[in-house]
Amino acid sequence: MSDDGLEAFDSLSAGKRIDDDANYQWRVAARPVANVVPSDFRWTVTDIPEPRDGEVLLKTHYLGLAPVMRFYMQGTGAAGERALEPGDVIHGRGVAQIVKSRHPDWQEGEMVQGQLGWQTYKVSAMTAQEKFFKMPKNGLPAALGSGVLGMTGLSAHAGLFGCGDPVQGDRMLLSGAAGGVGSMVSQMAAHVVGCEVVGMAGGAEKCAFIRDHGCSQAIDYKSEDIEESLDALMPGGIDLYFDNVGGETLAACLDRLRMHSRIVLCGSISEYMREQPFGLVNYTRLRATESRMQGFFVYNHLHKWERVMDDLAGWIDDGRLQPVQDIEDGFQNMPRALANLYYGRNVGIQCCSVRGEPEHWN
Ligand SMILES: NC(=O)c1ccc[n+]([C@@H]2O[C@H](COP(=O)([O-])OP(=O)(O)OC[C@H]3O[C@@H](n4cnc5c(N)ncnc54)[C@H](OP(=O)(O)O)[C@@H]3O)[C@@H](O)[C@H]2O)c1
């Protein structure tokens, strides 16, 4: 995709800055028709809200970006969040510090992660719907709570281990390998389990990146014939396919399944801009190979949160998981950071630094 559309976001962020005396927000101005464009976003400035009894005031430090956000803006409720109307603050999870508390269970100075929305302050009653978690003091940067040690990390872990049942020696294919979920799945599959991972990504630079992050081989799906490359690199077929893209790639994998193989349906980003969903005509390959295709939805795996975060932090500590977050600097650049995902500009988890690391936290 040409970068012309992405450059249009420069004028949207030009002249916008945040300070600590007001609440800055990005709202839905119009529903995106295809990819997001600058006129879909509206910048507003309001007073900082005051917490009442049972509430806290949160000051945003980092926000994570996810492909699903375009669906919210289009008016589709997804990922456990309600659909947005024009004028609404855009949904987004991130990392914040509690700067005032009138809630018995949440203390001033604590760092948390949860549903903050695209805004620099938020008053919250910390309801279950907002899914807030306290950030563990494990010496790792708070920034990781907006990605690797956040919902993206849980997605990668729940998809790979909860659905994929990987075993050492599995010949695994991974699409979207240079993206947020993908860059974690590749490293966990290769370095924690011992799978032999072939990754797919767009462009030579991303292919070099994935070879350094768990993939022994890479397919540049933008310049190579996918079917020919799969036959060359995985001549015996596929034991495990972790699917981030859907569409033709998923169909090509179904044709190359080994006996008793597994497909994890994580995402289908190649289909998100299509008017009609891609129709699979070769699903009966599952029957012939006695294979399994299973989807998962990260919000159904929240009960695993603490165990998963311990696993991930442990693997970061022992070097098996290198955290890769692509951090856009400045809250004014949130719309461009979202567009990056659909233009394939991010490497690793796309996040935005609103205020950087806090000076102190409990
Ligand atoms: N099931 C769940 O609960 C769950 C949870 C989280 C995420 N997801 C899904 O998992 C997928 C990955 O999510 P993420 O947050 O890690 O995002 P991500 O992979 O970082 O998303 C952006 C990447 O997708 C690739 N891409 C963009 N358009 C594409 C297209 N038309 N065809 C193929 N690839 C395309 C680009 O990489 P290239 O440059 O390599 O093309 C881009 O960098 C998404 O589909 C997301 O919706 C599902």
Query: What confidence tens digit (pLDDT) does each residue in 106-125 have?
Result: 999 999 999 999 999 999 99
- What homologous superfamily does CATH list for 4-143+324-353? Medium-chain alcohol dehydrogenases, catalytic domain (3.90.180.10)
Residue with the nearest Cα to atom 26 of ligand 1? 344
Query: What confidence tens digit (pLDDT) does each residue in 289-323 have?
Result: 999 999 999 999 999 999 999 999 999 999 999 99
Domain boundaries, the chain: 4-143+324-353, 151-299
281 Cβ partners below 8 Å, 6+ apart?
Answer: 251
Q: How confident is the model at residue 272 (pLDDT cuts 50, 70, 90)?
A: confident
pLDDT > 70? residue 357? yes
Q: Which helix (H) or strand (E) holds 350?
A: strand 349-353
Mean pLDDT, the chain, whole residue set: 95
Cβ 64 under 6 angstroms from ligand 1: no
Atom of ligand 1 nearest to the CA of 249: 33
pLDDT > 60? residue 149? yes
pLDDT at residue number 81: 82
- Kindly state the average pLDDT of the residues 317-334: 97
Q: Is-contact 361 109, C-beta < 8 A?
A: yes
| Secondary structure letter of residue 213 according to DSSP | T
Q: How confident is the model at residue 3 (pLDDT cuts 50, 70, 90)?
A: low
pLDDT at residue number 95: 98
pLDDT at residue number 243: 98
288 Cβ partners below 8 Å, 6+ apart?
Answer: none
Residue from 17, 14, 151, 128 nearest 79 by CA: 151
Other Cβ atoms within 10 Å of 33 Cβ, number: 10
pTM: 0.96
pLDDT at residue number 80: 73
Measure 42 CA to ligand 1 centroid, in angstroms.
25
299 Cβ partners below 8 Å, 6+ apart?
Answer: 79, 80, 131
Q: How confident is the model at residue 137 (pLDDT cuts 50, 70, 90)?
A: confident
pLDDT at residue number 274: 85
Interatomic CA distance for residues 297 and 267, integer angstroms? 10
* Best residue for ligand 1 mutational test, from 269, 304, 328, 351 (most atoms within 8 Å of Cβ): 269
Residue with the nearest Cα to atom 37 of ligand 1? 344
pLDDT at residue number 276: 86
- What homologous superfamily does CATH list for 151-299? NAD(P)-binding Rossmann-like Domain (3.40.50.720)
Instruction: Decide which of 2 and 171 is more confident.
Output: 171
- Kindly state the average pLDDT of the residues 149-166: 98
pLDDT at residue number 150: 96
* Best residue for ligand 1 mutational test, from 161, 184, 244, 268 (most atoms within 8 Å of Cβ): 244
pLDDT at residue number 5: 84
Cβ 150 under 6 angstroms from ligand 1: no
pLDDT > 70? residue 1? no
AA identity, residue 304: K
